[in-house]
Amino acid sequence: MRIILLGEPGAGKGTYSIELVKRYGIPQISTGDMLRAAVKAGIPLGKQAQEYMKKGELVPDSLVIELIRERIKQDDASKGFILDGFPRTVTQAESLEKMLQGLKLSLGMVLKIEVSKALLLKRLSGRRVCPGCGTTYNIDTMRPQKEGICDKCGREIVQRPDDRPETVENRLVVYQKDTAPLIEFYEKKKLLRRVNCEGEFEDVMGRIYAAMEEVAKV
Ligand code: AMP
């Protein structure tokens, strides 16, 4: 099963991906995580991406398209994958389509995560991450056992620089301008499935699994 999670920054793509990875045994492929790893490693790709990321802008299409081209060919992605944060522009979506065609593969579904702007802002402002192992927390809804400390590796958790209020607003504007057109793009291809992701976590996951299972039957 090859699926795309589509939704605004803060919609919960990363959190839902983790559950889907556990349930379906296919990898999450997050361009945001890959770019942050490149920044941390100080490699040329990270150096190129860093300035865009800091401002909440999208990094150039060519950079992320190459990342994905290599990643989806890896062995662990042979039975499927969950794309989290890619594609984010129509150019990226068209490239993905060509890549998959070249590999004789197809997309199963584009799951559009639907949450209100109020909830997005709450999730983004409360999000904290561990700089060591990358585990994500939320100071309102998913606190670590010991305040401010990662449960898994004991490091101090921090706010992502691009989750600060001055950058968040720009990321939402960029989403509307560059990424929201993908809704119509995939609607036309009859791949889009909207899921209401407000409410209790278990209920939300239930709705996501129901959407996944409907597609798996086809
Ligand atoms: P994310 O963790 O998905 O919110 O991504 C963090 C940042 O990485 C974004 O604000 C962009 O600067 C960059 N980024 C991640 N994925 C993409 C993509 N598919 N296209 C362009 N930029 C991206």
Q: Could you say which of 36, 112, 128, 171 is catalytic?
A: 171
- Averages of pLDDT over runs of 10 residues in the chain (218 residues) are 95 94 96 94 95 95 96 94 98 97 94 94 92 91 94 96 90 96 97 95 96 77
Q: For position 139, what pLDDT does the model report?
A: 92
Mutation choice for ligand 1 from 50, 57, 59, 127, CB with most ligand atoms inside 8 A: 59
Rg (CA), the chain: 17
Q: For position 5, what pLDDT does the model report?
A: 98
Q: For position 91, what pLDDT does the model report?
A: 98
Q: For position 217, what pLDDT does the model report?
A: 61
Q: 143 catalytic, yes or no?
A: no
Rounded to two decimals, the pTM is 0.92
Is the CB of residue 188 less than 8 Å from the CB of residue 194?
Answer: no
Which backbone phi and psi does 4 adopt, to 5 degrees? -115, 135
pLDDT digits (tens, 9 = 90+) for 176-212: 999 999 999 999 999 999 999 999 999 999 999 999 9
Q: 13 catalytic, yes or no?
A: yes
Q: For position 98, what pLDDT does the model report?
A: 97
AA identity, residue 65? I
Locate the DSSP E strands across 101-188. Answer: 109-114, 127-129, 136-138
Q: Report domain 2-26+79-115+179-217's class.
A: alpha beta
Q: 160 catalytic, yes or no?
A: yes
